[in-house]
Homo-oligomer: A and B are copies of this chain.
Amino acid sequence: MYVSHPSVHPVEAPPITDGALRVVMMKDFQGMPGTIGGLVLRLCQFLFAAGAVSVMASTHDFVSVTAFCYLVTAVGLQSLWSLVLAVIDIYSLLVKRRLRNTGMVTLFTIGDGITSTLTFAAACASAGITVLISNDLGYCAHNQCMRLETATALAFFSWFTVSPSFLMNFWSLASR
């Protein structure tokens, strides 16, 4: 009897266990939205940004310099964004739901990209002027310079903690 020979490879039926779930969980490394690491990053971003706003606002004439006003605006926006994302992370952890759908990750990536760019730009502009006042011109009332430097440093710290969130979300978006 003639029997055809198609190319047949025996394939085991996938076990209906937690295998598929484990593959998804492997992508949930700490720092992603909806993880403890992600929440810690968001809280750090918020605290550093809020600190930068407070310290800069405590200097008496920051409104006379455009870059310092811009710093207050940019890190103010950063602190609001990070606070909202921290609240979402807390909710996600409480109800044990992962924030993994493409729409949300895209939104987080765009938001992190915009806020981190604005924060970094503000920190750099502020740093340029602070160095100009303290080093290049040597015109520095001690207390004022300390505050400017502190606010700038806090803005940089905020940017340092936003960048991993942005890169991880972007990576997650590209690798799906």
Contacts and interface: CB of A to CB of B under 8 A. Distances in A.
Interface residues of A, number: 32
- Count copies of this chain in the complex: 2
B126 A128 contact: yes
A146 to B, nearest CB: 19
6 contacts: A64-B136, A66-B128, A66-B132, A66-B136, A167-B170, A173-B174
Interface SS, A side: helix
Interface of A: 6-13, 64-67, 117, 120-122, 124-129, 131-132, 135-136, 167, 170-171, 173-175
Contact of A170 (B121, B127, B174): B174
A128 B122 CA distance: 9
